[in-house]
Amino acid sequence: MDSKDVSADLAHVLYTKEEIQAKIQELAAQIDADYEGRDILVVGVLKGAVMVMADLVRALHSHVTMDWMAVSSYGSGTQSSGVVRILKDLDTDLLGKHVLIVEDIIDSGLTLSWLQANLESRGPASVEICTLLRKPEAAKVEIDVKYVGMEIPNEFVVGYGLDFDEKYRNLDFIGTLAPHVYE
Ligand code: 5GP
Ligand code: MG
Ligand code: MG
């Protein structure tokens, strides 16, 4: 392996490309069955959810429209505070729509809990959440997440949309960083 190869920055692979793709297919089949032919407005949360969104919508057989939101959590340091600011709002009117929020990972759940309440206040027919990863140990708030890909231990992961300092989002697998990257 070339020393400039991005994979040299990773300590170990948590989920391979194949494992992720298999899980996405499973989630899509479950979603198709639940929505029974109803149209779904899939809302991706930028930037982390880009990969999940792209693969999930291609695996769905339901009629789908897509929109995007970008939010930022106020707060000092790396911990999300639960105080959320909208950086980019939806272009779509949610009235009467079946909304499916797509996330890469739920850590504390504070951001998503705020987002869910915000979207619910706009008069949709329903709001559900689909996340590829969830860290159960880190949950600070109870949120009802209907579709969860994998539950992972409370460690920092990158790849498949997830970044460290905006890098590693382009990896097609998910892994942990080698200590030399952040030490
Ligand atoms: P929370 O659920 O704590 O409000 O925030 C979730 C957000 O924190 C995610 O959308 C993601 O941007 C970031 N995050 C949480 N855990 C991780 C992780 O293990 N790796 C990376 N790269 N980002 C994470
Ligand atoms: Mg995210
Ligand atoms: Mg990030």
In a domain, 118, yes or no: yes
Specify the pTM: 0.93
pLDDT tens-digit series, residues 116-174: 999 999 999 999 999 999 998 777 788 999 999 999 999 999 999 999 999 999 999 99
3-state secondary structure 41-68: EEEEEECCCHHHHHHHHHHCCCCEEEEE
Active site residues: 107
CA of 151 to the centre of ligand 3 (A): 18
Could you tell me the CA-to-CA distances from 87 to 65, 72, 74, 170 in Å, in that order? 21, 7, 12, 22
In a domain, 25, yes or no: yes
In a domain, 67, yes or no: yes
Q: Is the CB of 152 under 6 A from ligand 1?
A: no
At 139 the pLDDT is 78
Query: What would the mean pLDDT of 51-58 be, rounded to a whole number?
Result: 98
Give the residue numbers spanning the domain of 43.
17-161
The amino acid at residue 73 is: S
pLDDT tens-digit series, residues 72-112: 876 555 566 667 899 999 999 999 999 999 999 999 888 89
Q: Is the CB of 104 under 6 A from ligand 1?
A: yes
Residues 6 or more apart in contact with residue 58 via CB below 8 angstroms: none
In a domain, 11, yes or no: no
As a whole number of angstroms, the distance between CA 27 and CA 24 comes to: 5
What ipTM is given for this predicted complex?
A: 0.94
In a domain, 178, yes or no: no
Residues 6 or more apart in contact with residue 113 via CB below 8 angstroms: 82, 141, 143
- The candidate with the shortest Cα–Cα distance to 105, out of 152, 143, 137, is 152
As a whole number of angstroms, the distance between CA 18 and CA 172 comes to: 9
Q: Which atom of ligand 1 is nearest to the CA of 111?
A: 4
Residue with tokens 């948590």: 14
In a domain, 102, yes or no: yes
In a domain, 93, yes or no: yes
As a whole number of angstroms, the distance between CA 93 and CA 172 comes to: 33
In a domain, 142, yes or no: yes
As a whole number of angstroms, the distance between CA 138 and CA 94 comes to: 30
Burial class from Cβ neighbours inside 10 Å (0-12, 13-18, 19+) for residue 5 reads exposed
- Kindly report the CATH number assigned to the domain that includes residue 47: 3.40.50.2020
At 79 the pLDDT is 60
Q: Is the CB of 115 under 6 A from ligand 1?
A: no
For the chain, the distance separating the N- and C-terminal CA atoms, rounded to the nearest angstrom, is: 22
Q: Is the CB of 10 under 6 A from ligand 1?
A: no
Q: Whose CA is nearest to atom 8 of ligand 1?
A: 107
CA of 3 to the centre of ligand 1 (A): 28
Instruction: Give me the number of domains the chain comprises.
Output: 1
